[in-house]
């Protein structure tokens, strides 16, 4: 699931021929979980990471930067520095912006 999140992959990657071949080349005895398995695990993982992120923002983040680029990306990333100037990055929100990319349409998701 980590690879799916980091690389913005869908659960169906576990059914892709190339992925299956790579996994079986690395470990022929490994049974790849189904995409349903990952969709069932996702809510608990989401809650775990959301709690961690809220804690970081509330307790550790000294400086926070929000960015968006609605023309090329449908996510709202955040970058944070803690007191020791360690950089953390996360995606707070993701949504499609339908319709024209004019001021009226852009204003509502922000």
Domain positions in the chain are 1-44, 61-110
Q: Which two tokens stand for residue 110?
A: 């922000």
Q: Are 80 and 88 in contact (CB under 8 A)?
A: yes
What pLDDT does residue 19 have?
95
Q: Tell me phi and psi for residue 24, to 5 degrees.
A: -70, -30
Average pLDDT of the residues of the chain: 83
Mean pLDDT of 18-37: 95
* Mean pLDDT for the stretch of residues 64-90: 78
- Residue 3 dihedral angles phi and psi, to the nearest 5°: -60, -40
pTM of the shown model: 0.56
In this prediction, what percent of the chain has a pLDDT beyond 70? 85
Question: Which of 94 and 32 is assigned the larger pLDDT?
Answer: 32
Does 109 have pLDDT greater than 70? no
Task: Check residue 99 and give left, alpha or beta (phi > 0: left; psi -120 to 50: alpha).
Answer: left
Q: What is the mean pLDDT of residues 33-56?
A: 88
């Amino acid at each position: 699931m980590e690879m799916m999140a980091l690389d913005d992959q869908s659960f169906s990657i576990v059914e892709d021929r190339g992925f299956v071949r790579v996994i079986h080349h690395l470990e022929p005895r490994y049974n790849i979980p189904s995409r349903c398995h990952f969709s069932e695990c996702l809510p608990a993982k989401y809650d775990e990471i959301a709690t961690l992120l809220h804690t970081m923002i509330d307790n550790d983040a000294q400086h926070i930067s929000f960015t968006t680029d609605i023309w090329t990306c449908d996510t709202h990333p955040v970058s944070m520095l803690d007191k020791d100037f360690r950089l953390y990055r996360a995606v707070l929100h993701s949504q499609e912006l339908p319709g024209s990319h004019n001021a009226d349409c852009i204003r509502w998701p922000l």
